[in-house]
Chains A and B, each alone.
Chain A
Amino acid sequence: MQTTQADKIFDWAYAPAPEATDHVHINKKYDLFIDGKFVKPGKGKYTNTISPSTEQLLAQVAEADEKDVDKAVKAAKSAYDKTWKKMPGKEKAKYIFRIARMIQERAREFSVIETMNGGKPIRESRDIDIPLAANHFFYYAGWADKLDYAFPNRKPQPVGVAGQIIPWNFPLLMAAWKIAPALATGNTVVLKPAETTPLTALKLAEIIQESGLPDGVVNIITGAGQTGAALVNHSLINKVAFTGSTEVGKVIQKALAGSNKKLSLELGGKGAHIVFEDAPIDQAVEGIVNGIFFNQGHVCCAGSRLFVQESIADKLIDKLKDRMSSLIVGDPLDKNTDIGAIHSKEQLDKINQYLSVGKKEGAEMYQPSCIIPKKGFYCKPTLFLNASQSHRIVQEEIFGPVLAVQTFRTIEEVIEKANNAPYGLSAGVWTDKGSRIFNLTSQLKAGVVWANTYNKFDPASPFGGYKESGFGREGGLHGLMPYLNL
């Protein structure tokens, strides 16, 4: 903070307020959830999953090979043919609704595990990830018996067995985004969580088992890239839904070419966050912070490119730096932590590499003087000032707490620059002028455009991208379409 008066300084470092972990039960070993039962992997192979904030071992998790995947897909196929396809919508809804309620009942346990396994602050997993995951199940439970109203005169039919692969940044939430609409539309599911963050998905498997959902309707198998490849390429899969990197998305799309499998991809992003001179500046600063430092920047729709109108640039950047100095980086289980741990050593290395690239390219780096823990993977919130469109830190997705800042002068210029990216997932606009918002929403090539806010999610609102950010929509009525033959 900028104030002086050293004799009167009231340094109010908040006492540690860690969320309790004693109520959480994590097994030493987790097997594959296939056909309603936890079964050992065929080859008996397990991998470790750790906490990125302490680097401690949390559990061992089974690695599914091709035969395990085959078993899971066949279980899903048989459940589809024998029970789920035939069950009336309102009966299916009851199960989905029950899962939602059970997530709510165990919200505290879920949020603690999510934070332990993924490194995100407990404030976020408690207030955003877990409630939103439950809400997705609630929302899609409502659609299950109303598909004829969603698509009148189209006689919507389920696709069959969906193979779903999800990333590590929002483990339970992404599982909910995938499973809930698939079940509501009458499909059965084989889901593969990310190899580094499988624990909440496996907890979800426990809930699904308890909920009495018919065996095989949801199967959750763990493993790395090869497991995912086996799932995607399995001949009984009718639909593939993938959220993750653009690189892997391209591989999947190639693999599916010539097959009749439906595909939806939700890939990378490099969100443009645009602030005009008439914007509510203090709230814009807050929005920028929320846009890029939410979940350590591990967000595909993160507002990682900031465009500030030149007339307010100095003022806004001063305010932004000042705000960054009050962010608390540290133990993600502490309720006062704003920025938690970077998800993995590998990701931290990648971010650090971009930091040196940015400096080499000549952008001016700024980090507040916060203290970060010695153990675990941490990165200070970072700004790159005086960046330009041709910088790699502006073009490429960093997936970390790193914001590239540019200025603009006219509205045409900022639209051109915002759209001048391989991605098109999200954008944000800050202005006091309503007409300007609507002008921009129609011109920005982004699946989501937020106005005077950022990173707002709701189950009723569709989410998805343009260009290299993928295709297909999740959430809302649109989120039903990828799982239906219309």
Chain B
Amino acid sequence: MSTKQIPDFRFSPVVDQVGVEERIARLNTRSIKKQSKTRGLKLALNMIDLTSLEGKDTEGKIRQMCYKALHPHDALPDLPTVAAVCVYPVYVKTAKEALKGSAVKVASVSTAFPSGNAPLNVKIADTKFAIDNGADEIDMVISRGEFLKGNYNFVFDEIATIKALCGPVRLKVIFETGELSSLDNIRRASDIAIYAGADFIKTSTGKIQPAATMPVSLVMLQAIKDYFIKTGKMVGMKPAGGISTSKSALQYLVMLYETLGPAWMTNEWFRFGASSLANDIILQLEKDDKKVYYSGDYIGKD
């Protein structure tokens, strides 16, 4: 079946919130112990997009974060690096230089992040700037206002336009699920973004509460699954914001594993947008290694 067949997004599958929450509750009863826990935690660390998206960011701060991305915790051998760093377009160049020669990617937010309330030419310029500076990945936001007005074509076209601009640069599409209000809307937004060419769909900017939640993420994973069944094409997923503990990262991985299966268990197809998660994972791995809990003071906060 051709991907050119675009469905009518008004008729995206409906979602029952109570059912989703029950499924999550059941997934969260999975007990991940011993070697499956260690493997899961290392994988989670390797899936992190280490993020700094603050008004007070500086080149110095970004360079420090990049060092952390490459050396999460040198005291522990065999630790993977994180997947990427995620920064504003103006810091792409700095990050790119700091990460030169490594496999860690540089992701840049764009399209007038976080609100997305800018004309298309500004969004295009924003994205171009990031790509020209060497961004490997673009994290764009959708126009939530237009989406809630029911202008699905507008949202679709915007994503398709940015995707065309991206070329080989991977595009993540942020819905800001905390502003979309219902799981039905989140499913619809997922379908729109996927069919418009998103390489990844992403929950949140981290600027709005609630950010990523498991119910929202499950609905998005199910949209990815339906698309895969229909077209054979994989789309990635990135929950962002609010995931700060190892336990919750493992719960997301269980959900991923039991919904999309082992092929998605790689940072090519799944990311955590987080800043403090890395240190909590390190804390847990340290504990498994040394049999004692360290305080946060023993692990670098960059």
Residues of A within 8 A of B (CB): 1-5, 8-17, 123, 127, 278-284, 286-287, 318, 326, 335-336, 432, 452-453
Contact = CB atoms under 8 A, between A and B. Distances in A.
Contacts of B31: 14, 17, 335-336
Interface of B: 13-16, 18-20, 22-23, 29-37, 39-40, 43, 222, 228-229, 234, 253, 257-258, 260-266, 268
Contacts of B32: 14-15, 17
Task: List the 10 closest pairs (A to B, CB-CB), nearest first.
Answer: A283-B19, A1-B261, A3-B263, A10-B265, A17-B31, A280-B16, A335-B31, A283-B16, A15-B34, A15-B36
Given A15-B34, A286-B22, A123 B264 contact: no
Contact of B40 (A12, A279, A282): A12
Nearest to B268: A8
Contacts of B15: 280, 282-283
A16 B263 CA distance: 23
B243 to A, nearest CB: 19
Contacts of A4: 263
A9 B262 contact: yes
Contact of B14 (A12, A127, A278): A278
Nearest to B219: A282
A281 B263 contact: no
A282 B19 CA distance: 9
A337 to B, nearest CB: 10
B20 A3 contact: no
A453 B302 CA distance: 46
A280 B14 CA distance: 5
Given A14-B31, A318-B229, A5 B263 contact: yes
Given A287-B19, A452-B19, 13 more contacts: A1-B262, A3-B260, A10-B266, A12-B39, A12-B265, A15-B34, A16-B33, A17-B33, A279-B14, A280-B13, A335-B29, A432-B14, A452-B18
A274 to B, nearest CB: 15
A21 to B, nearest CB: 16
A286 B36 contact: no
B13 A10 contact: no
A447 B12 CA distance: 34
Nearest to A9: B262
B262 A3 contact: yes
Contacts of A335: 29-31
Contacts of B257: 10, 12
Given A4-B263, A335-B31, A282 B222 contact: yes
Given A3-B260, A280-B19, A283-B19, A8 B266 contact: yes
Nearest to B253: A12
Contact of A2 (B16, B29, B229): B229
A10 B262 contact: yes
Given A14-B36, A283-B19, A318-B229, A8 B30 contact: no
Nearest to B222: A282
Contacts of A336: 30-31
A1 B262 CA distance: 8
B19 A123 contact: no
A123 B29 contact: yes
A15 B254 CA distance: 13
A452 B16 CA distance: 8
Most B Cβ at <10 Å: residue of A1, A9, A127: A1
A4 B261 CA distance: 9
A378 to B, nearest CB: 20
Contacts of A123: 29
Nearest to A12: B257
Given A9-B262, A280-B13, A286 B19 contact: yes
Nearest to A327: B258
Contacts of A286: 19, 22-23
A8 B18 CA distance: 34
Contact of B263 (A9, A17, A280, A284): A9
Given A12-B262, A123-B29, A283 B23 contact: yes
A13 B262 CA distance: 10
Contacts of B23: 283, 286
A316 to B, nearest CB: 11
Most A Cβ at <10 Å: residue of B20, B30, B34, B266: B30
A452 B20 CA distance: 11
Most B Cβ at <10 Å: residue of A3, A127, A279, A286: A3
A16 to B, nearest CB: 8
A12 B35 CA distance: 10
Contacts of B265: 10, 12
A15 B263 contact: no
Contacts of B14: 278-280, 432
A3 to B, nearest CB: 3
Given A2-B229, A452-B18, A14 B30 contact: yes
B261 A283 contact: no
Contact of B33 (A5, A8, A15): A15
26 contacts: A1-B263, A3-B263, A8-B268, A9-B262, A9-B263, A10-B265, A11-B262, A13-B36, A14-B31, A15-B34, A15-B35, A17-B32, A280-B14, A282-B13, A282-B19, A282-B222, A283-B15, A283-B18, A283-B20, A286-B22, A287-B19, A318-B229, A326-B258, A432-B14, A453-B18, A453-B22
